[in-house]
């Protein structure tokens, strides 16, 4: 089996990290996951018996919006990490960079060790998400890879539009372990645990708390929904976005929603919480590369409304497997929630169709087979 050195910049389990967890699992006897930060993601990998090592204790300060000066200033701190990765990679068949900072380190280490580089692109390389400098660096380095795996057609198209090589990029959706969605707890019991009355209509929002994830849009939409609609926000600020968290709490107070909103923070029982929701909302204000939350909601059998942009449009068929609304449109979001309340039979039918489609399209076993075939080609060439 192919021996892989996986690289990821995060110590916290976001969407890219959960995807990596599934991809690395079949290679657990032939891989190492190198992290650039300590955190709960390490424990998740260890729980799955996937070899993991934190390769540096120094935080890499560059962010997606950083300037060229900031980027160049970080190179000095990266040199020890690059040398370590280059040395480690000589024991593996390829380097698999799972995030943008991992791409920077992996690309240079690949050049030194002469091991092929694979880059898993979990982002839409647009100026909505990246500074012009960081996008240019990402595309330039990715163009030197043997393979770029984009997580949606939208991510693939944005990569090519930004100057990425069409001949090296393939799109492969995220995979999901269907067994995790087979035996879900009783929704009523979960609501009781959360202190929510059974007659409430529970709308769930599952993502990190960040302005572009649009939690504020859902809060505004609640004011246009019946009083029985209660919102659960599951997730926390990951990247220094505490100001936004304070804004959300202030907005709740301003709109008199204190009795209709619960902030649950980071939870590891997401599937149980989704199953307890009457609807899951995805409210990103700019194009989402994929949208794991959307697929998870479908697999839980919960109706879903998503923003009509980016990868979400590839996941939801409007009026058949869910609702699609314009980014940032409070009125459309409220209308979708109210439709779900007022048309329970149609909503349940859409949720059943969505679960069936998601089960067919996103089975992790089939997705991992696709990725394995692509990686085998890289090693053989």
Q: What share of the chain is helix, strand, coil (3-state, %, to 5)?
A: 50, 15, 35
Domains 4-175+363-380 and 178-361 share a fold: yes
pLDDT of residue 67: 46
pLDDT tens profile 147-162 = 999 999 999 999 999 9
Work out the average pLDDT over 63-69: 48
What is the distance between the terminal CA atoms of the chain, rounded to a whole angstrom?
16
Residue 65 has pLDDT above 70, yes or no: no
pLDDT of residue 60: 67
pLDDT of residue 1: 86
The residue count of the chain comes to: 381
Domain chopping of the chain, boundaries: 4-175+363-380, 178-361
Give CA separation, 342 vs 226, 266, 333, in Å. 11, 31, 14
pLDDT of residue 191: 93
Residue 88 has pLDDT above 90, yes or no: yes
Classify 178-361 by CATH class: alpha beta
**Residue in the structure block whose two tokens are 């600020």:** 237
**CATH number belonging to the domain at 4-175+363-380, selected among 3.90.1150.10, 2.60.40.10, 3.40.50.620, 3.40.50.2000:** 3.40.50.2000
Residue 71 has pLDDT above 90, yes or no: no
Query: What secondary structure letter does DSSP report for 87?
Result: H
**Residue in the structure block whose two tokens are 């307890």:** 276
Query: What secondary structure letter does DSSP report for 197?
Result: -
Cβ–Cβ under 8 Å, residues 300 and 184: yes
Residue 61 has pLDDT above 70, yes or no: no
pLDDT of residue 270: 94
> Which of 137-151, 231-245, 290-304 has the lowest average pLDDT?
231-245
């Amino acid at each position: 089996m192919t021996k892989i050195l996986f690289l990821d910049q995060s110590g916290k389990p976001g969407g890219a990290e959960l995807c990596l967890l599934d991809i690395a699992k079949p290679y657990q006897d032939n891989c190492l996951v190198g992290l650039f930060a300590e955190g709960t993601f390490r424990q998740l990998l260890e729980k799955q018996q996937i070899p993991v090592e934190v390769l540096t204790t120094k935080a890499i300060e560059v962010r997606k919006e950083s300037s060229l000066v900031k980027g160049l200033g970080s190179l000095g701190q990266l040199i020890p990490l690059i040398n370590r990765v280059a040395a480690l990679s000589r024991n593996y068949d390829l380097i698999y960079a799972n995030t943008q900072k991992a791409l920077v380190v992996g690309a240079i280490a690949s050049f030194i060790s002469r091991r092929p580089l694979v880059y898993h692109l979990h982002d839409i390389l647009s100026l909505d998400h990246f500074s012009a400098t960081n996008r240019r660096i990402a595309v330039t380095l990715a163009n030197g890879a043997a393979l770029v795996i984009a997580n949606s057609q939208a991510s693939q198209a944005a990569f090519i539009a930004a100057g990425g090589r069409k001949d090296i990029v393939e799109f492969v959706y995220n995979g999901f372990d269907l067994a995790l969605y087979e035996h879900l707890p009783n929704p009523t019991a979960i609501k009781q645990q959360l202190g929510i009355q059974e007659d409430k209509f529970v709308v769930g929002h599952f993502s990190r708390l960040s302005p572009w994830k649009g939690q504020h849009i859902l809060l505004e939409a609640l004011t246009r929904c019946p009083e029985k609609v209660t919102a659960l926000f599951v997730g926390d600020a990951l990247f220094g976005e505490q100001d936004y968290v304070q804004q959300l709490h202030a907005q709740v107070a301003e709109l008199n929603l204190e009795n209709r909103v619960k902030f649950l923070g980071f939870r590891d029982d997401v599937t149980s919480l989704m199953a307890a929701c009457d609807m899951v909302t995805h409210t990103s204000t700019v194009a989402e590369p994929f949208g794991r939350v959307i697929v998870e909601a479908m697999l839980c059998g919960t109706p879903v409304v998503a923003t009509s942009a980016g990868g979400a449009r590839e996941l939801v068929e409007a009026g058949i497997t869910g609702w699609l609304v314009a980014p940032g449109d409070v009125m459309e979001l409220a209308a979708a929630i109210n439709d779900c309340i007022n048309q329970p039979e149609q909503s349940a039918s859409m949720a059943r169709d969505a679960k069936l489609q998601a089960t067919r399209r996103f089975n992790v076993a089939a997705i991992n087979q696709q990725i394995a075939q692509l990686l085998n080609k890289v090693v053989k060439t």
